[in-house]
């Protein structure tokens, strides 16, 4: 993984970001940093009453992830490969979907100040899946606070991610369509994904397997 020190994995809820991050860290002997969503005290309230608790939820995530990103600055990035299951910008994507106009203006003011001190990844992996697949994954893992998550919300979030990454040029990007692969349970699928990631990337690279191995 020459000249690759920081890999960030992104994608909508249920697409397999954390699973792939764990597997990559294991196979590439990398340091693993996961988002700590369970620590957000507003998250369950948000899913029960999104309009009332959206701003508190997003602000907590923003500050929590900023602190985590600052901790990453202390890592010797040039001697240890680092894999994370999120990008700092993900909070903006969720905020754009969940906050009203006044809230998003205040959120952006805070986020713009914080982003100046955030390290950009050397490679971003964007995992794609259709909304039906995401809903199946969410139901299968059975998290209590995700139980009442609506199809419309996940579909809207999926669209936000697509719109963000379609023109993305900030870093090298690998887009992986996961509809027809199972890198968690199928070693051949995981091997294919790792091989794609190992290859040098300039600009955007697409990996679109046609069927499960």
Residues carrying an active site annotation? 85
Terminus-to-terminus CA distance in the chain, angstroms? 25
In the structure encoding, which two tokens stand for residue 125, read together?
Answer: 């992996």
CB-based contacts of 194: which residues, under 8 Å, 6+ apart?
24, 27, 28
Annotate the chain with DSSP letters as a single string: -TT--EEEEE-STTS-HHHHHHHHHHHHT-EEE---GGG-TTHHHHHH-HHHHHHHHHHHHHHHHHHHHHHHTTS-TTTS-EEES--TTHHHHHHHHH--HHHHHHHHHHHHHHHTT-PPPSEEEEEE--HHHHHHHHHHHT-GGGTT--HHHHHHHHHHHHHHHTT--SS-EEEEE-TT--TTT-HHHHHHHHHHHHS---SEEEE--SS--
């Amino acid at each position: 993984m020459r000249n690759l020190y920081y890999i960030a994995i992104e994608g909508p809820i249920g697409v397999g970001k954390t699973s792939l991050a764990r597997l990559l860290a294991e196979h590439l002997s990398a340091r693993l940093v996961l988002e700590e969503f369970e620590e957000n005290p507003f998250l369950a309230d948000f899913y029960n009453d999104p309009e009332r608790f959206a701003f508190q939820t997003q602000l907590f995530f923003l500050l929590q992830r900023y602190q985590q990103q600052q901790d990453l600055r202390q890592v010797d990035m040039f001697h240890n490969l680092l894999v994370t299951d999120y990008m700092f910008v993900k909070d903006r994507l969720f905020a754009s979907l969940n906050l009203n106009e006044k809230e998003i203006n205040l959120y952006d003011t805070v986020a713009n100040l914080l982003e100046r001190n955030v390290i950009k990844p050397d490679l971003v992996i964007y995992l794609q899946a259709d909304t039906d697949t995401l809903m199946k994954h969410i139901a299968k893992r059975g998290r209590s606070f995700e139980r009442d998550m609506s199809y419309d919300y996940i579909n809207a979030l999926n669209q936000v991610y697509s719109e963000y990454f379609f023109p993305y040029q900030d870093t090298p990007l690998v887009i992986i369509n996961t509809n027809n692969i199972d890198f968690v349970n199928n070693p051949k699928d995981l091997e294919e994904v790792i091989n794609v990631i190992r290859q040098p990337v300039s600009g955007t690279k697409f990996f679109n397997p046609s069927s499960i191995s």
